[in-house]
Amino acid sequence: MLTKLHNRACNFTGTAEDEDALVRLAIQISQLRNIQSRLQHLLGKSAFSRELYQRICALCNPELAFGTFVRMMRILPDSRSLQIMCTPGPTSTLHQSDSDFQEGERGPRPSPKDDPLLPQTSIVTSQPWTIVPSKRMNNFTAAVEPVENPTNDMFLQARGYLSPADRNLGLLQLQPEAKQQALLLLSALIQRQNPYPNWPGYYEFGYVACSDDKETNMLGGLYHSMLTNPECGTRAEIFEELWRALATNSLARLIESCGYLDSLRSTLPTLERFLNTPKNQRPSVWRLVQYVRDRDNTDDPIPELCKDYGFAHCNHNRDNIRVLKNIYRTILEKTHPSELHTACYRGELVAFAERLGVRIEPQYRRLMQNTHGYSM
């Protein structure tokens, strides 16, 4: 790729086509995993590799600016003009987390029409959520093929649920924060999608309590059914009830008032307990579940995970964080989070993993020590 970049730079003619191809190639290189350290090892000259990395990142600036402008105009749909003030500054570099993606995971630059408005989401591949009871169990399954909606803006479709006073506000202008999270959930559900683990609502709305994709789709179907069922109230009423329930930790009571609690208990038994537990009393293992499912994230986790599950021993080393996340991912594939929570509380994480048959290399055993006590 470096050779290809060199050839394109040498043969650059100044045309828009050449410029676009150069930017796209620079973006592909910047998205390679650990590209900055790999350049240093490859070239053997730290100063030169650092400057080369900075210049590659500078080539990405048009793409980054383009995406920023599109997202800003979508978040502030009532803006009629945009004033841009440009000042010279030092060459910027991408945040390290921006390069922690596998090669080829990102496609070509999206158009403004297709640019995602929400945090990264996982598309539900099952049938859409026209909800009917199943003959075998009271779960949530699909009934019809999705109808393509000519309105492609997620927020635009969801704004009909807002009160008239809120409909002209941008997402970040909505207060309290629970209202923002509820609108994001609604926007995803309208598109037959579930939130991705890197979104706060994945934790707040209880998706961490789902053990697999089937349960995740059931939970998405439950929320979708609540928000679209006329018996639960008008769109504005049920939306206000949703964000207020989130803010007051009473989502389970809202689900019960809409008549879905029996189905919840039979299909998602862990969820009710999770939702009924005050946020400051929930075991940190649920935050671990969210962090582990956010596969590409190698940033330092929240302090509770650093203390309880040994991420503090990683010393900000992304490779160690990735290894430790993979260990916990394997453990959680073999056991319920509550069992892992118990082992954490007893300070027996390594022994617990070995009992499950999870092999831990000797050099990584120290990462799983939580000798400083348990936070929650």
**Spans of all domains in the chain:** 2-79+95-99, 121-281, 291-368
Question: Residue 268, Cβ neighbours under 10 Å: how many?
Answer: 21
Q: How confident is the model at residue 292 (pLDDT cuts 50, 70, 90)?
A: very high
pLDDT at 375: 57
Task: Write down the pLDDT at residue 48.
Answer: 74
What dihedral do alpha carbons 224, 279, 370, 353 form, nearest 10°? -30
Q: Say which amino acid occupies 261.
A: L
Q: Predicted confidence band at 82 (pLDDT cuts at 50, 70, 90)? A: low
Percent of the chain with pLDDT over 90: 46
Mean pLDDT of 289-306: 94
3-state helix, strand, coil in the chain (%, to 5): 55, 0, 40
Structure confidence by residue, pLDDT tens digits, 150-203: 334 567 788 889 999 998 888 889 999 999 999 999 999 988 899 989 999 999
Per DSSP, the residues of 280-346 read: GGS-THHHHHHHHHSTT--S---HHHHHHSSGGGGTT-HHHHHHHHHHHHHHHHHS-HHHHHHHHHH
Tokens 């990735």 belong to residue: 322
CA–CA separation, 111 and 263 (whole Å) = 41
> Helix 337-346 vs helix 318-334: angle between axes, to the nearest 10 degrees?
120
Q: Which single residue is written with the structure tokens 């009934």? A: 143
Q: Which of 43-47, 71-75, 168-172 has the highest mean pLDDT?
A: 168-172
Task: Give me the pLDDT at residue 281, please.
Answer: 94
Q: What is the DSSP string of 268-286?
A: -HHHHHHHHS-GGGS-THH
User: How many C-beta atoms surround the C-beta of residue 59 within 10 A?
Assistant: 19
CA angle 135, 141, 147 (to 5 degrees): 135
What's the confidence (pLDDT) of residue 65?
Answer: 73
pLDDT of residue 106: 37
pLDDT, mean of residues 36-63: 73
**pLDDT, position 132:** 39
